[in-house]
């Protein structure tokens, strides 16, 4: 993205390395390279005389080593500098297309950590009429030209949006255009990082805006440099080493023998990584032999021990992390970005691997390592005699998100050579698989492996001079040759050794020698071409992935600075293959696979198509290959059309599931057997180095999507005031009728807001399914509910007979009796569900019992008791065994409300009767009582004689 500056050039000119020439344009990544582009030619060397100027082209100053070229018509132009001296310079054939895409999007990002949003400011610029700041991608606001252009396009209806590839979200500008810019707000994310700026199909002066893929992640910061800290480096004279973050390639580390550099924006800006001199001795500080990046920070391998640089501290990992503190010979993290979690009950996936010559360790996000095997175990697995030596040489994660390959050397007592074995380990199943690969190399040769972006565990391996390939599940193996049949690449590069092999998501492979000679080939291709010289042989350089997954080079200068430079891989390949017969055999290869991973739950199928357009009579087709367990049936259907000498062949592929789970005795085992992860690729039956894309790779996960969940419609966790409280359930309302009442606490966090229901109203919960994109439908299969505290003072309004049962249906009571020792939430579920609609299953019985299975369509409702109100916390569970691989349950709470009805008439009458009875009794009694008193007072004087009597 930087134009060759004059200062850079002058310093290069002073070097006496071999001369090189190259070209740059104003558009980043050479994305726009058309007859409208200004091409800057740059010659580096001492014997320049002038540029050859092709017809139709205009060169600003043909005798200047740095000059601008414009060619007015599309076509292939032959360019080279004429030099004084015996050796001629290389010719390049530059293809200038006639393109109607001339404008580009420019964006800047501001991060707001308080609300975790990013505000992207977007405008349109014309690389041919841009400000130097825009060309160097350091502008903070649009130039005047860009402002005018943006406003013009906006007036014509242009409007950008940001689309995310993994999450499939679109974000639009919030406000209308102001100040010549749009602003788009996005949430910060660590996972959904691949974005694309797209616009409408709007042209201004017949020119469109090119869509811009870019990476935008949570802003990870680099390790800050502390004054007084010292450089950490590789041993003097060793070649550069680097590592990029697996899913965010703009975050990278580069280790040289002078300094370690780190960047979070593809080396536009960078910092030095330096360490506390107290932690490492001087010699240790200069002994970095490997580097890798994982979630926790930068891992360095120094003298057989692993050190972690996190925040600003270097820490040695040892025993308490489960990894030895000496003898480690390699560390590696994942190369290909994939989705982190797919299956709910999946084992923890490792983030990195470390190995000694005899043991393999996997490291996890918790910073704990576990030993997965030893060479002794592998020796017996391979049936090798115990006296032979088996060493672990290299390890590499493949595209399959749960697999890694291990490269082993086998040396027997009487051998002069060593044998190379490749094994594949699956983290989920802990199984090893031997690969059909045979190679014998001399004892002093050491191999490095690199996995390729393909469904199969394809690899390239290299030593100092040769590159070996393993394609198509190890059915095609051999040594890469050049067109002359030479396998030793050192012979073609003045004796230099292989430094590094760059591989990318498009199947490109670049072999870079230490002296910067480069060879190119592609996945499934067995011969390489030598690329043009691009940089002088003494420059220290290394390839990286850019934000848009293209190759760029990073140079490390002797003054301790680094500089990135875009590399036009496709143009360079076109140029070197221009004279050869190497033409891509097809015109177009499309498909409708836009996702990285597809989840298939039970009963779900996937249909895709792929189309290839090629000249008539060449007979190409699309090949579908899958890697992984055989859990899907694949049906293919192809048809073609011929028009104007071109054939368009369309292949439709349908992946279907075959398994049925109803009445299966071992439901969970069966599920386990039928789920798994497949990596699928679509590729043309023939292609060559010059084809832009080699294959399309994607994943299909059959199983429980860890984001899948159910909820009950109408319940929320937020629409009420949260306050925890306790309540008492009377013992008679409980299923097991204990001796005491049960006191329970209402946990708002877990149960959400209770729904208040009139106890006279029958209630049927409606279950909805959701995944990472939110709720997507109502569940229309059988489910059950139970009160989690054990209440059973509710019932159902349908009987088994009304529900259509032919035999007695399952009930909580029978299921609990059958599974006495299991907790309530395990006694009944899809694993033991038996339908009652067949005479063949179950026994006849009392069909007047309530039917306890609910379904959106069976009209069965919960019925509440009406003599008391209560709080019910239910759990719902999907019962249909053919519905999902997930154990789907949801919790919801119902509070029944209502006025307890007045005591009934008889009761009142009886009460009144008793009351009156008591009243009359009292009345009668008091009558007698008073009568006695009155008798005393009234009649006493009249009966005086009685006194006498008394006296008697």
Binding site for ligand NAG (CB under 6 A): 7-8, 11, 112, 115, 117, 185, 344-345, 433, 436, 473, 557, 559, 561, 627, 668, 704, 762, 797-798, 802, 859, 861, 886-887
Considering the complex, what minimum distance in angstroms separates the CB of residue 904 from ligand NAG? 25
Cα torsion 450, 453, 456, 457 to 10°: value is: 20
Contact criterion met (CB below 8 Å) for 128 and 37:
yes
Contact criterion met (CB below 8 Å) for 628 and 343:
no
Please tell me the distance from the alpha carbon of residue 390 to that of residue 374, in angstroms, as a whole number.
10
Considering the complex, what minimum distance in angstroms separates the CB of residue 763 from ligand NAG? 9
Considering the complex, what minimum distance in angstroms separates the CB of residue 346 from ligand NAG? 9
Question: Which CB, 85 or 560, lies closer to ligand NAG?
Answer: 560
Please give the full DSSP string across 183-205, using - where no structure is assigned.
EEEEE--SS--EEEEE--S--BT
Question: Which CB, 486 or 662, lies closer to ligand NAG?
Answer: 662
Considering the complex, what minimum distance in angstroms separates the CB of residue 433 from ligand NAG? 6
Question: Which CB, 125 or 567, lies closer to ligand NAG?
Answer: 567
Q: Is 157 left (phi over 0), alpha (psi -120 to 50) or beta?
A: left
Token pair listed for 730: 């009377």
Count the Cβ atoms, other than its own, within 10 Å of residue 236. Answer: 8
Question: Which CB, 848 or 936, lies closer to ligand NAG?
Answer: 848
Question: Which CB, 94 or 700, lies closer to ligand NAG?
Answer: 700
Please tell me the distance from the alpha carbon of residue 277 to that of residue 579, in angstroms, as a whole number.
56
Token pair listed for 294: 């994982």
Question: Which CB, 198 or 861, lies closer to ligand NAG?
Answer: 861
Question: Which CB, 484 or 559, lies closer to ligand NAG?
Answer: 559
Q: E strand or H helix at 29, and its extent?
A: none
Determine whether 115 is exposed, middle or buried from the number of CB atoms within 10 Å of its CB (0-12, 13-18, 19+): exposed
Considering the complex, what minimum distance in angstroms separates the CB of residue 806 from ligand NAG? 17
Q: E strand or H helix at 687, and its extent?
A: none
Considering the complex, what minimum distance in angstroms separates the CB of residue 762 from ligand NAG? 4
Residue 299 to residues 219, 273, 283, 492, 762, Cα–Cα distance (Å): 20, 12, 18, 36, 62
Considering the complex, what minimum distance in angstroms separates the CB of residue 44 from ligand NAG? 12
Terminal CA-CA length for the chain: 144
Considering the complex, what minimum distance in angstroms separates the CB of residue 14 from ligand NAG? 9
Please give the full DSSP string across 71-84, using - where no structure is assigned.
ESS-EEEEE-EEES
Considering the complex, what minimum distance in angstroms separates the CB of residue 511 from ligand NAG? 26
Contact criterion met (CB below 8 Å) for 531 and 573:
yes
Considering the complex, what minimum distance in angstroms separates the CB of residue 863 from ligand NAG? 8
Question: Which CB, 652 or 802, lies closer to ligand NAG?
Answer: 802
Q: Which of 312, 261, 272, 307 is nearest to 287 (CA)?
A: 307
Question: Which CB, 15 or 646, lies closer to ligand NAG?
Answer: 15
Considering the complex, what minimum distance in angstroms separates the CB of residue 452 from ligand NAG? 15
Question: Which CB, 310 or 797, lies closer to ligand NAG?
Answer: 797
Q: Residues 911, 917, 920, CA angle at the centre, nearest 5°?
A: 140
Please tell me the distance from the alpha carbon of residue 801 to that of residue 425, in angstroms, as a whole number.
55
Considering the complex, what minimum distance in angstroms separates the CB of residue 119 from ligand NAG? 6
Token pair listed for 702: 């059959």
Question: Which CB, 591 or 887, lies closer to ligand NAG?
Answer: 887
Question: Which CB, 10 or 443, lies closer to ligand NAG?
Answer: 10
Determine whether 24 is exposed, middle or buried from the number of CB atoms within 10 Å of its CB (0-12, 13-18, 19+): buried
Q: Residues 829, 888, 349, CA angle at the centre, nearest 5°?
A: 115
Q: What are phi and psi of 910, to 5 degrees?
A: -60, -45
Q: Which of 807, 894, 801 is nearest to 850 (CA)?
A: 801
Across the strands, what pairs with 552?
544, 566
Token pair listed for 890: 């949801």
Q: E strand or H helix at 928, and its extent?
A: helix 905-939
Token pair listed for 105: 């999007």
39-44 vs 20-24, strand pairing mode:
antiparallel
Contacts of 82 (CB under 8 A, 6+ apart): 49, 50, 51, 52, 89
Question: Which CB, 508 or 798, lies closer to ligand NAG?
Answer: 798
Contact criterion met (CB below 8 Å) for 372 and 430:
yes
Count the Cβ atoms, other than its own, within 10 Å of residue 796. Answer: 21
Count the Cβ atoms, other than its own, within 10 Å of residue 84. Answer: 8
Question: Which CB, 557 or 640, lies closer to ligand NAG?
Answer: 557
Considering the complex, what minimum distance in angstroms separates the CB of residue 272 from ligand NAG? 12
SS3 776: strand
Question: Which CB, 14 or 326, lies closer to ligand NAG?
Answer: 14
**Positive or negative: CA dihedral 661, 667, 668, 670:** negative
Question: Which CB, 11 or 707, lies closer to ligand NAG?
Answer: 11
Considering the complex, what minimum distance in angstroms separates the CB of residue 15 from ligand NAG? 9
Considering the complex, what minimum distance in angstroms separates the CB of residue 26 from ligand NAG? 20
Please give the full DSSP string across 854-898, using - where no structure is assigned.
B-TTS---EE--SSS-EEEEEEEEE--TTT-SS--EEEEEEEEE-
Question: Which CB, 432 or 668, lies closer to ligand NAG?
Answer: 668
Considering the complex, what minimum distance in angstroms separates the CB of residue 117 from ligand NAG? 4
Q: E strand or H helix at 949, and its extent?
A: helix 944-951
Contact criterion met (CB below 8 Å) for 784 and 879:
yes
Considering the complex, what minimum distance in angstroms separates the CB of residue 475 from ligand NAG? 8
Q: E strand or H helix at 614, and its extent?
A: strand 606-615
Considering the complex, what minimum distance in angstroms separates the CB of residue 832 from ligand NAG? 11
Question: Which CB, 673 or 762, lies closer to ligand NAG?
Answer: 762
């Amino acid at each position: 993205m930087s134009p060759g500056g004059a200062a850079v050039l002058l310093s290069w000119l002073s070097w006496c390395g071999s001369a090189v020439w190259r070209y740059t344009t104003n558009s980043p990544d050479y994305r726009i390279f058309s007859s409208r582009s200004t091409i800057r030619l740059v010659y580096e060397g001492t014997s320049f005389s002038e540029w050859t100027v092709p017809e139709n082209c205009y060169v600003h100053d043909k005798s200047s080593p740095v000059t601008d070229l414009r060619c007015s018509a599309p076509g292939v132009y032959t360019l080279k500098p004429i030099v004084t001296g015996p050796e001629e310079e290389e010719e390049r054939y530059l293809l200038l297309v006639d393109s109607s895409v001339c404008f580009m999007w420019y964006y800047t990002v501001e991060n707001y950590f308080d609300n975790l949003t990013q505000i992207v400011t977007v405008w349109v610029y014309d690389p041919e009429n841009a400000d130097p700041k825009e060309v160097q991608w350091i502008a903070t606001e649009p130039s005047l030209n860009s402002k005018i252009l943006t406003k013009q396009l906006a007036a014509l209806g242009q409007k950008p949006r940001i689309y995310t590839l993994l999450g499939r979200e679109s974000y639009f500008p919030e406000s209308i255009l102001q100040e010549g810019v749009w602003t788009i707000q996005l949430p910060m994310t660590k996972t959904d990082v691949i974005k694309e700026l797209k616009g409408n199909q709007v042209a201004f002066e017949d020119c469109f805006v090119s869509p811009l893929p870019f990476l935008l992640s949570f802003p990870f910061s680099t390790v800050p440099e502390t004054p007084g800290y010292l450089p950490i480096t590789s041993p003097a004279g060793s070649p550069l080493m680097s590592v990029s973050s697996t899913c965010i390639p703009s975050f990278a580390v580069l280790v040289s023998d002078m300094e370690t550099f780190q960047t979070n924006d593809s080396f536009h800006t960078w910092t030095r990584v330096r360490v506390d001199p107290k932690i490492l001795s001087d010699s240790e500080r200069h002994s970095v032999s490997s580097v890798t990046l994982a979630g926790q920070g930068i891992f360095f391998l120094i003298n057989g021990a692993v050190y972690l640089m996190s925040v600003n501290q270097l820490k040695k990992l040892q025993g308490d992390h489960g990894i030895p503190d000496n003898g480690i010979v390699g560390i590696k993290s994942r190369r290909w970005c994939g989705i982190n979690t797919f299956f709910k009950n999946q084992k923890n996936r490792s983030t990195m691997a470390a190995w000694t010559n005899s043991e393999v360790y996997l490291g996890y996000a918790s910073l704990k390592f576990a030993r997965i095997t030893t060479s002794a175990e592998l020796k017996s697995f391979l049936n090798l005699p115990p006296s032979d030596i088996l060493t672990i040489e290299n390890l590499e994660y493949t595209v399959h998100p749960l697999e890694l390959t291990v490269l082993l050397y086998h040396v027997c007592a009487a051998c002069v050579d060593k044998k190379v074995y490749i094994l594949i380990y699956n983290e989920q199943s802990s199984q090893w698989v031997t690969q059909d690969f045979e190679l014998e190399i001399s004892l002093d040769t050491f191999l490095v492996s690199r996995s390729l972006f393909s469904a199969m565990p394809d690899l390239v391996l290299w030593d100092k001079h040769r590159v070996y390939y393993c394609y198509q599940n190890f059915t095609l193996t051999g040594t890469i040759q050049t067109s002359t049949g030479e396998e030793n690449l050192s012979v073609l590069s003045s004796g230099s050794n292989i430094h590094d092999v760059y591989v990318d998501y498009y199947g490109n492979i670049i072999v870079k020698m230490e002296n910067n000679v480069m060879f190119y080939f592609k996945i499934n291709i067995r011969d390489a071409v030598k690329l043009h010289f691009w940089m002088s042989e003494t420059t220290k350089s290394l390839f990286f992935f850019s934000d848009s997954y293209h190759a760029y080079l990073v140079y490390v200068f002797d003054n301790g600075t680094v500089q990135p430079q875009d590399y036009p891989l496709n143009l360079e390949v076109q140029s070197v293959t221009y004279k050869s017969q190497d033409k891509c055999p097809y015109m177009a290869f499309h498909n409708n696979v836009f996702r990285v991973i597809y989840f298939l739950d039970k009963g779900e199928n996937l249909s895709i198509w792929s189309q290839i357009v090629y000249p008539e009579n060449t007979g190409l087709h699309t090949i579908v290959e899958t890697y992984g367990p055989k859990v899907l049936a694949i049906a293919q259907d192809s048809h073609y059309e011929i028009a104007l000498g071109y054939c368009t062949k369309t292949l439709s592929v349908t992946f279907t599931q075959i398994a049925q789970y109803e009445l299966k005795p071992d439901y969970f085992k069966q599920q386990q057997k039928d789920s798994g992860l497949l990596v699928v690729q679509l590729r043309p039956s023939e292609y060559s180095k010059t084809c832009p894309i080699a294959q399309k790779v994607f994943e299909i996960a059959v199983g429980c999507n860890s984001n899948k969940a159910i909820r009950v419609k109408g319940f929320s966790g937020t629409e009420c005031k949260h306050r925890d409280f306790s309540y008492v359930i009377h013992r008679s309302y409980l299923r097991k009728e204990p001796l005491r009442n049960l006191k329970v606490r209402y946990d708002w966090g877990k149960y959400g807001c209770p729904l208040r229901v009139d106890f006279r109203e029958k209630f049927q919960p409606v279950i909805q399914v959701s995944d990472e994109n939110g709720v997507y439908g109502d569940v229309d299969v059988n489910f059950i509910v139970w009160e989690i505290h054990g209440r059973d003072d509710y019932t159902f309004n349908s009987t088994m007979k009304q529900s259509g049962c032919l035999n007695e249906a399952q009930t909580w009571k029978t299921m609990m009796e059958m599974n006495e020792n299991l907790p309530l939430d395990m006694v009944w579920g899809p694993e033991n569900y038996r339908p009652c609609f067949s005479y063949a299953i179950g026994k006849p019985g009392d069909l007047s019992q309530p039917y306890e299975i609910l379904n959106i369509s069976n009209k069965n409702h919960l019925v509440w008791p009406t003599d008391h109100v209560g709080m019910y916390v239910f759990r719902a569970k999907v019962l249909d065994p053919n519905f999902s691989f997930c154990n789907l349950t949801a919790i919801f709470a119902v509070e029944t409300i209502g006025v307890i009805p007045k005591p009934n008439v008889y009761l009142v009458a009886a009460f009144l009767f008793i009351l009156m009875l008591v009243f009359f009794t009292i009345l009668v009694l008091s009558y007698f009582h008073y009568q006695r008193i009155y008798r005393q007072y009234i009649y006493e004087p009249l009966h005086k004689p009685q006194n006498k009597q008394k006296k008697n």
